[in-house]
A and B are shown apart, each in its own frame.
Chain A
Amino acid sequence: MPEMELPEAAPALEIRGLEAWYGESHVLHKIDLTVREGECVTLLGRNGAGRSTTLKAILGLTDRRAGSVRVRGQETIRLSTHRIARLGLGYCPEERGIYRSLTTQENLTLLPRLGPDGMSVAEVLALFPNLAERADSGGGRLSGGEQQMLALGRILTTGARILLLDEITEGLAPVIVEALGRAVALLKSRGFTIVLVEQNFHFARHLADRHYVIENGRVAAEIPANEVAAREAEVGRLLGV
């Protein structure tokens, strides 16, 4: 019997001709990318290529942006940041963005509900047991790894189903990177849509369905996971590894 092809899932994020500016500096030059529901997509590239800015531009966090960003079909280019987030986007910034004056518990319960099926605090603590021991510690007193777990854990409480994760492994010990890898794989298996900005290609290659390589604020290549092995040399050249 011939293998039946499953219909493609609807796009969760559809970005066309996205441009972004910081002040006078033109950072993104017509980025096109699509992320379907339940997909895990990475944005790879060198430092300063525009990967983190792409995530920020999706949320309207750059000074100015133009083009089209559709979240589940709804155009958001003219929406304010908080309205875009309320469409179900969870953001984990590169600097982690843990509130230092709030305790771990307060950080974890701070964010508003963005969707119906957010994880309970107990579920998040089961996913990241280290956080349970640090519930009353100030956010600024956590280690880098704990902060990263908290940054990821708190957006899971919101019910956001589209996760924008920026460099979540940066500067962390291998054991923490492994734990985060398991968490992202679990989220993917639960149907979350994930956009992962990564410099650590070895971390990203086993998690992602597709990779976009960003260079000078443009998409330089789109590589499906099943073509990575065949295009290893091209990926290495683009990433400079």
Chain B
Amino acid sequence: MDITLQAFMAQLTIGLIGGCFYALLSMGLAIIFGLLNIINFTHGAQFMMAAFLAWIGLTQIGPWLGYPDFQINFWVALVLAPLCVALFGMVIERTLLRRLYHLDHLYGLLLTFGVALVMEGAFRYAFGVSGQGYEPPEILQGPVDVGFMLLPKYRVFVVAASLLICFFTWYLFERTKLGAYLRAGTENPRLLQAFGINVPVMITLTYGFGVALAGIAGVLAAPIMQVTPLMGGNLLNIVFAVVVIGGLGSILGAMMTGLALGLIEGLTKVVYPEASTVVVFVIMALALLVRPAGLFGREA
């Protein structure tokens, strides 16, 4: 096998970028599963919705409003789109998910799967299935020399921003009083309520936060991936494998596994490209055999 160091590092870097999206999405899923006991199949659609909102803000909203020059730029969209998606998620939690907490996981899974299909169908109806392009902001256009290769500035930004958000989320959950409430709520929400905490509101806000992470990933993905109604569904299969390997409900597990699997995927593309699409699922199967609760999950 003849692989140059440059090609090897390039594939690893591309893998790391993929890993950042896996980490952001799987952290959101882990947070939501931890507190709500819901396997949020809507996550991919929420990721897609944020990417579409960013694209609409940049290219469509001006003409719609009759001001063709008006745009919502990337930086504003990076804040606004996740907030809108989080708000939409919180409405779903308050009106639909709340009715399912006392039932088996399967019901939440089916409901969120159905909502995802409705969302994807609505976007497909409105915007079609062909991919829409999204220009990264001017300041992040062009290449940057990272030593072993030239990398688009925007991709370096995605890695830095994702790692920062992952660290912030981990710190929030593991090192702050708010995080202690959330961990306590994950263990025994009923008792936490008996101590005077408004757990229903905490659950709604946590769902919103988990969905906002998917929203941030969606806006970050818009300039890299084609913005299409199916972009979330495709990614979600791998993200669920990440969550299973990391351990359902484990935030650190989701983050570390997401990044690691991105790198492994990149590495597989160098060593044996044909296996790159299945390597994650092979690892998932092995992890389930060896450690059913996941690498970072607690054994029951």
Chain B nearest Cβ from A131, distance in angstroms:
17
Q: Contact check, B196 vs A86: say whether CB atoms are below 8 A apart.
A: yes
Q: A61-B194, A91-B194, A99-B183 are contacts. A82–B188 as well, Cβ < 8 Å?
A: no
Chain B nearest Cβ from A87, distance in angstroms:
9
Q: A106-B180, A110-B180 are contacts. A85–B186 as well, Cβ < 8 Å?
A: no
Q: A82-B197, A82-B198, A112-B197 are contacts. A101–B191 as well, Cβ < 8 Å?
A: no
Query: B181 — which chain A residues lie within 8 A by C-beta?
Result: 110
Q: Contact check, B193 vs A82: say whether CB atoms are below 8 A apart.
A: yes
Q: A81-B193, A82-B193, A93-B191 are contacts. A99–B198 as well, Cβ < 8 Å?
A: no
Beta-carbon contacts under 8 Å, A21-66 to B = 59, 61
Q: How many angstroms between the C-alpha atoms of A59 and B190 in the bound complex? A: 11
Q: Which of B183, B188, B196 contacts A111 (CB 8 A)?
A: B196
Q: Contact check, B180 vs A102: say whether CB atoms are below 8 A apart.
A: yes
Chain A nearest Cβ from B269, distance in angstroms:
37
Q: A102-B183, A102-B184 are contacts. A114–B196 as well, Cβ < 8 Å?
A: yes
Q: Which of A82, A97, A109 contacts B196 (CB 8 A)?
A: A82
Q: Is the interface of B mostly helix, strand, loop or mixed?
A: helix
The answer to whether B199 has its CB under 8 Å from any CB of chain A is yes
Beta-carbon contacts under 8 Å, B251-274 to A = none
Query: A59 — which chain B residues lie within 8 A by C-beta?
Result: 194
The answer to whether B195 has its CB under 8 Å from any CB of chain A is yes
The answer to whether B187 has its CB under 8 Å from any CB of chain A is yes
Query: B191 — which chain A residues lie within 8 A by C-beta?
Result: 91, 93, 97
The answer to whether A158 has its CB under 8 Å from any CB of chain B is yes
Q: Contact check, B195 vs A158: say whether CB atoms are below 8 A apart.
A: yes
Q: Contact check, A85 vs B195: say whether CB atoms are below 8 A apart.
A: yes
Q: Contact check, B196 vs A110: say whether CB atoms are below 8 A apart.
A: no
Q: Contact check, B193 vs A97: say whether CB atoms are below 8 A apart.
A: no
Q: How many angstroms between the C-alpha atoms of A155 and B149 in the bound complex? A: 58
Q: Which of B183, B190, B196 contacts A112 (CB 8 A)?
A: B196
The answer to whether A231 has its CB under 8 Å from any CB of chain B is no
Chain A nearest Cβ from B179, distance in angstroms:
9
Beta-carbon contacts under 8 Å, A78-98 to B = 80-82, 85-86, 91, 93, 97
Q: How many angstroms between the C-alpha atoms of A112 and B190 in the bound complex? A: 15
The answer to whether A182 has its CB under 8 Å from any CB of chain B is no
Q: Contact check, B194 vs A99: say whether CB atoms are below 8 A apart.
A: no
Query: A99 — which chain B residues lie within 8 A by C-beta?
Result: 183-184, 187-188
Q: How many angstroms between the C-alpha atoms of A106 and B195 in the bound complex? A: 14
Residues of B in contact (CB 8 Å), total 18
Q: Which residue of A lies closest to B190 (CB)?
A: A61
Query: A85 — which chain B residues lie within 8 A by C-beta?
Result: 193-196
Q: Which residue of A lies closest to B199 (CB)?
A: A82
Beta-carbon contacts under 8 Å, B193-235 to A = 193-200
Q: How many angstroms between the C-alpha atoms of A155 and B195 in the bound complex? A: 8
Query: B198 — which chain A residues lie within 8 A by C-beta?
Result: 80, 82
The answer to whether A141 has its CB under 8 Å from any CB of chain B is no
Q: How many angstroms between the C-alpha atoms of A102 and B185 in the bound complex? A: 11
Chain B nearest Cβ from A77, distance in angstroms:
16
Q: Which of A101, A111, A112, A155 contacts B187 (CB 8 A)?
A: A101
Chain B nearest Cβ from A68, distance in angstroms:
20
Query: A82 — which chain B residues lie within 8 A by C-beta?
Result: 193-199
Q: Contact check, A101 vs B197: say whether CB atoms are below 8 A apart.
A: no
Q: How many angstroms between the C-alpha atoms of A99 and B181 in the bound complex? A: 10
User: Which of B188, B194, B199: most chain A CB closer than 10 A?
Assistant: B194
Q: Which residue of B lies closest to A155 (CB)?
A: B195
Beta-carbon contacts under 8 Å, A114-132 to B = 114
Query: B199 — which chain A residues lie within 8 A by C-beta?
Result: 82
Chain A nearest Cβ from B213, distance in angstroms:
21
Beta-carbon contacts under 8 Å, B94-120 to A = none
Q: Contact check, A101 vs B183: say whether CB atoms are below 8 A apart.
A: yes
Chain A nearest Cβ from B193, distance in angstroms:
4
Q: Contact check, A112 vs B194: say whether CB atoms are below 8 A apart.
A: no
Q: How many angstroms between the C-alpha atoms of A40 and B193 in the bound complex? A: 25
Q: A82-B199, A110-B181 are contacts. A101–B186 as well, Cβ < 8 Å?
A: yes
Q: How many angstroms between the C-alpha atoms of A86 and B193 in the bound complex? A: 10
Query: A61 — which chain B residues lie within 8 A by C-beta?
Result: 190, 194
User: What 10 A-B pairs have minimum CB-CB distances, sorted nearest first?
Assistant: A85-B196, A81-B193, A99-B184, A97-B191, A111-B195, A86-B196, A91-B194, A82-B193, A101-B183, A106-B180
Q: Given A82-B194, A110-B180, A114-B196, 17 more contacts at CB 8 Å?
A: A80-B193, A80-B198, A81-B190, A81-B193, A82-B195, A82-B196, A82-B197, A85-B194, A91-B194, A93-B191, A93-B194, A97-B188, A99-B183, A99-B187, A101-B184, A102-B183, A158-B196
